[in-house]
Structure 1
Amino acid sequence: MLGKASSIKNIKLPLILLFVLLIPLFFGGIVPLEIKSFFYAISLTMKCTLILITPLIIFSFLFSSLISLKTNIIKFVVILISAVFISNFIAICTGFAISFTALPKLHLPIQNSFNDPAQLKPLWEFCIPKLIPTEFALIGGFLFGIFFSLKKSSIAEKIAEKLNEISTGFLKRIFVPLLPLFILGFVFKLEADQVLLKSLKVYSPVFFVIVGTQICYIILLYMIASNFSLKRFFTYIRNVFPATITGFSTISSMATMPMLIIATEKNLNNPTIVKTIIPATINIHTIGSALGLIILSYATLLTFDYQLPTSSALLKFAFYYALAKFAVVAVPGGVLIIMCPLLEKYLGFTGEMTGLITAVYMLLDPFGTAVNVTGNGAFAIIFSKIYKPSSKKKQFTLFESQKI
């Protein structure tokens, strides 16, 4: 009963965000300019507040995620974390590669209204400078998490649990309920600048590029997992498909985890390693969102005619994004909470672009979640081929899944 309520709640949020997009689209012309300016100011204030506390959120989730690894096998921990990072990094780079090759062929229309000096202004301006760079929080959380996952400390575990509790409470009780309000002001801004309708039309063909890329990537992963045996490939897909559909309908990797474990046990025939890897990677190995968000971000840069980032900036972005995957919490839009500072620093995003991409990404989230779940099943199979215990004895204990 609780799972059903959670599923309904997860489905309801994208519908609300769709409604938020439609209000300015159809009724923006009759809404007074002062009201638009008011909501735009709220969105900017929320954005500045979020950017200020994002480093703490990143550190707390990264620290608590890595410290929760319940094993004394250093080799296993290092290989698992390295494999997750490399897999996410490859997916991110693949997203950029597809963006470079496929998106220019769509001839996306350019929006240049942001250069108009008569654009909508916020009713007030409020912003506090960020005290800690996002990169410091990422690296610090990673190093502390790895250190205390290998050198156990009850004090460190209590601190990690408390930080995780505070950050999760903020996201679940404050940010997620206010997410529609956060987006509404930026959407009013786009409508006032007369680029909202054009921008939404742009994402229609981009949607097919994203979903097509995600499907092809999953096929490739399972072909690798099956050693390119078609018979084994179709067996793997048939077994994991119920978990894929569940992930699509619930929009929650955590809610799908029991079904994914059952499916992957059939594919791998090794319950111990499956029940270790799946809970440990369910939130941090997310190739669906890696592919989708990258392509969506690049399409946004093209349609708003922003200067495309250099190769150096893209590599830095990919590195920190792959690192940030360890800090993503399983709440709607959680990945974008972590990504906002990186999008703005390395890809040159503005607040309006962030607001729009948040709403559009949430509408695509069912597909991304389905790919995340399915990809985790393939990752477990491939990882089992990489990690070879030195003896037949049980070499590691079960991971504790992150408490969300």
Structure 2
Amino acid sequence: MKNLGLLPKILVAIVLGVGIGSISPIWVVKGLATFSGLFGNFLGFAIPLIIIGFIAPGIGELGKGAGRLLGVTTGVAYLSTILAGTLAYWVSVSIFPHILEVGGLVNQYANPEEALVKPFFTVDMPPIVGVMTALLLAFTLGLGATVIKGNALQNVMVDLRDIVEKLIASVIIPLLPLHILSVFSNLTYGGQVTMILSVFVKVFVMIIVLHLFYLFVQYMIAGQMGRKNPFTLIKNMLPAYFTAIGTQSSAATIPVTLNQTKKNGVSEKIADFVVPLCATIHLSGSTITLVSCSMAVMMLNDMTTSFSMMFPFILMLGVTMIAAPGVPGGAVMAALGLMETMLGFTTTLTSLMIALYIAQDSFGTACNVTGDGAIAVITDRLSEEKAA
């Protein structure tokens, strides 16, 4: 198991969870539910730390960039991320009611949470601050670090980010498969797993199609603006796409993305600046996944999915995932707080979101990094126009 990647571990955990929930006595499921409850509470404690640890140093580093070029790149990347999330919302609204059983869990159970086995005991682990307080604090510290003289505050925030990344990589990610196993054993024991697994397959297919469609749109725009053949641009970026599928990390794919972006005729100065920056701020593929999965989970539980509620969530996603770590599942970890506060997700629903997200994380990362090449072409063209 140590040699397996995170995705195979998650898939194995789901299969084992379904098997255990099908044949085990209630005390086994109850024991797993106890672990799941403790892990979920610890995750709730860690969420504000993740938000502060990622966003504050990320904003601080962005603010010390190259002025106008930074503004252009950040603006284009953020707009791309928001458009991706908005597209995912409208596609979900249009398609999910026809392929998913809307309110399916609520129709079977008056309260789906009540159908789950309760743990032997729980331990309260309150976070040091609320999610919105953590966001405001992160913005304040990050923006403050860009305007004061000296690097002491920024160095502290970077150290905090390193600690949080270690926490995720060394504690949360290794225990995540056992948490998913516990959740699925409980869902199976409660009779809810068949519907949820069918949702997994349908949502997975739709997300991959959306990723490919959005990449096509990005490169059509980039080709038009950069006066280049969009199909040639896409062909040149395929090595970056497939590398990202294997690494599941935007950061680890940077060398390949950079090389292929330069092959697309982007100036070396622009490519060297835009590609590493977009690896942390441009997450169109991850946003498509998070919005689509959120919509599926909410519809399954007959929760409100109005655009007036989801659009602020999409806007915040574009900011919250800044500098998400280069570990698999980093984006969904950074977004958990928003799901709880803005969408009303419970611990069980966030666990489903984690499983749904990680099941296609490599494809979301591939969409992110391949889209970075389009952002570089657009930024290169905009920079030429401003220079002229």
Q: TM-score normalised to the size of structure 1? A: 0.87
Which deviations, in whole Å up to 9, do the C-alpha atoms of 1:297-336 show, x marking residues without a partner? Answer: 1111222x32224433222212221110214222121112
Q: Could you tell me how far apart the structure 2 residues matched to 1:141 and 1:160 are? A: 10
| Residue 98 (structure 1) aligns with | 91
The amino acid that maps onto 1:268 is G
Q: Could you tell me how far apart the structure 2 residues matched to 1:311 and 1:70 are? A: 31
| Residue 117 (structure 2) aligns with | 120
Q: How far did residue 229 of structure 1 move?
A: 9.0
Q: Could you tell me how far apart the structure 2 residues matched to 1:385 and 1:151 are? A: 33
Equivalent of 1:31 in 24, 47, 68 = 24
Equivalent of 1:274 in 271, 275, 287 = 271
Contact 1:135 1:320 in 2 (8 A): no
Q: Could you tell me how far apart the structure 2 residues matched to 1:38 and 1:27 are? A: 12
Contact 1:66 1:142 in 2 (8 A): yes
| Residue 136 (structure 2) aligns with | 139
The amino acid that maps onto 2:59 is L
Aligned length: 383
| Residue 50 (structure 1) aligns with | 43
Q: Could you tell me how far apart the structure 2 residues matched to 1:350 and 1:268 are? A: 48
- Corresponding residue SS for 2:280: coil
Contact 2:57 2:158 in 1 (8 A): yes
Correspondence 1:284-295 to 2 at 5 A: 284-295=281-292
Correspondence 1:49-88 to 2 at 5 A: 49-69=42-62, 71=64, 73-88=66-81
| Residue 233 (structure 1) aligns with | 230
Equivalent of 1:340 in 336, 359, 381 = 336
Give the stretch that moved more between structures: 340-349 or 167-176: 340-349
Q: How far did residue 143 of structure 1 move?
A: 3.9
Correspondence 1:156-175 to 2 at 5 A: 156-175=153-172
| Residue 189 (structure 1) aligns with | 186
Residue 388 to residue 214, structure 1, CA distance change in 2 (3 Å): same
Contact 2:47 2:336 in 1 (8 A): no
Q: Could you tell me how far apart the structure 2 residues matched to 1:188 and 1:361 are? A: 19
Q: Could you tell me how far apart the structure 1 residues matched to 2:92 and 2:83 are? A: 14
| Residue 364 (structure 2) aligns with | 368
Residue 58 to residue 119, structure 1, CA distance change in 2 (3 Å): closer
The amino acid that maps onto 1:219 is F
- Corresponding residue SS for 2:135: helix
Contact 2:7 2:359 in 1 (8 A): yes
Which deviations, in whole Å up to 9, do the C-alpha atoms of 1:358-392 show, x marking residues without a partner? Answer: 12221211211111111111111112233458659
| Uncovered stretches (5+) of structure 1, i.e. residues with no partner | 1-7, 393-404
Residue 318 to residue 147, structure 1, CA distance change in 2 (3 Å): same
Contact 1:309 1:346 in 2 (8 A): no
Q: Could you tell me how far apart the structure 2 residues matched to 1:387 and 1:150 are? A: 25
Q: How far did residue 71 of structure 1 move?
A: 4.7
Contact 1:186 1:351 in 2 (8 A): no
Contact 1:55 1:137 in 2 (8 A): yes
| Residue 111 (structure 1) aligns with | 105
Residue 72 to residue 21, structure 1, CA distance change in 2 (3 Å): closer
The amino acid that maps onto 2:372 is N
Q: Could you tell me how far apart the structure 2 residues matched to 1:49 and 1:38 are? A: 17
The answer to whether structure 1 residue 18 and structure 2 residue 11 are counterparts is: yes
Residue 73 to residue 201, structure 1, CA distance change in 2 (3 Å): closer
Equivalent of 2:262 in 262, 265, 268 = 265
Contact 1:88 1:322 in 2 (8 A): yes
Residue 233 to residue 81, structure 1, CA distance change in 2 (3 Å): closer
Q: How far did residue 151 of structure 1 move?
A: 4.3
Contact 1:189 1:352 in 2 (8 A): no
Residue 125 to residue 21, structure 1, CA distance change in 2 (3 Å): same
Q: Could you tell me how far apart the structure 2 residues matched to 1:229 and 1:387 are? A: 11
The amino acid that maps onto 2:224 is N
Residue 133 to residue 389, structure 1, CA distance change in 2 (3 Å): farther
Q: Could you tell me how far apart the structure 2 residues matched to 1:195 and 1:247 are? A: 34
Contact 1:222 1:233 in 2 (8 A): yes
The amino acid that maps onto 1:217 is Y
- Corresponding residue SS for 1:161: helix
Q: Could you tell me how far apart the structure 1 residues matched to 2:65 and 2:53 are? A: 22
Q: Could you tell me how far apart the structure 2 residues matched to 1:205 and 1:86 are? A: 28
Equivalent of 2:316 in 306, 316, 320 = 320
| Uncovered stretches (5+) of structure 2, i.e. residues with no partner | none
| Residue 219 (structure 1) aligns with | 216
Q: TM-score normalised to the size of structure 2? A: 0.91
Contact 2:20 2:185 in 1 (8 A): no
Contact 1:58 1:327 in 2 (8 A): no
Q: How far did residue 230 of structure 1 move?
A: 9.7
- Corresponding residue SS for 1:55: helix
Q: Could you tell me how far apart the structure 2 residues matched to 1:240 and 1:18 are? A: 29
Residue 128 to residue 264, structure 1, CA distance change in 2 (3 Å): same
Contact 1:59 1:327 in 2 (8 A): no
The amino acid that maps onto 2:105 is Q
Identity over the aligned pairs, expressed in percent?
27
Residue 267 to residue 151, structure 1, CA distance change in 2 (3 Å): farther
